[in-house]
Structure 1
């Protein structure tokens, strides 16, 4: 692992933007395609790096939180265009997160997605898995900038 690569992404309308930094080669990042009904309907497959960094910025009050399943994680969805950009959860005052690979700019060349079935895990097992796999200390910021017309 050498210098960090920063991958950029956003929702469709650009109100939610993210930067994901990792020292891993993006081609070695394997998106995990969650098989729950919510993630399937959004076409979500998540990448993360427990040694990486993730910052998410929302403009104009566009950020919406959605919980389902065990209600431990918050899915971050744009209230304007409906794109799911990431999932986060808080544990012991730390915010952990994973990026929906589908919202990354087209330049990112990732490994092929593999299926994941977290719905088969208990709530405690999910939390242990997220702590082990997800990016810790996610930065989530918001501004009052006007929502752009879509």
Structure 2
């Protein structure tokens, strides 16, 4: 596994990604919805990998629903950084991480455009279940 970490600007929301393949084999998806475009968000995920999201102050972590309202965007309320997107279904969490929050000089592949607004709700859900992290843990930690 390839380990990558990062988080929001203030450090309230931290992410630890375990990727099954090297980061440069992952092409972040640049979502073209209005919300993601305004945040310059581009997402990486690995259905064979895992994701740990650590939140220091839950009151400062916001979940913003936009578009179809099915997925939630995880945003730090303190510093305003869009950390990723989550989809919850039957007790499972699927997630994708905004590559802009990754620390250091991790080299991912070239960004590719993604246009979820052209998909039906059922197609979106299927896509998320197929390509997003499915081994996701979200924990609250002591600051």
Taking structure 2 as the reference length, the TM-score comes to 0.96
Aligned to 2:42: 45
- Contact kept in structure 1, 2:29 and 2:44, CA below 8 Å: yes
- Contact kept in structure 1, 2:50 and 2:136, CA below 8 Å: yes
Matching of residue 72 in structure 1 with residue 84 in structure 2:
no
Q: Which runs of 4+ in 1 moved over 2 A?
A: none
Aligned to 2:29: 32
How far does residue 60 in structure 1 lie from its aligned partner after superposition? 2.0
CA distance in 1, matches of 2:85, 2:7: 14
Task: Deviation per CA, 1:41-80: give whole Å up to 9, x if none.
Answer: 0110000010100010111232110000111101000010
How far does residue 144 in structure 1 lie from its aligned partner after superposition? 5.3
Aligned to 1:15: 12
**Structure 2 stretches lacking a partner, 5+ long:** none
CA distance in 2, matches of 1:144, 1:51: 29
2:120 is matched with which residue: 119, 122, 130?
122
Taking structure 1 as the reference length, the TM-score comes to 0.91
Deviates more, 1:87-96 or 1:75-84: 87-96
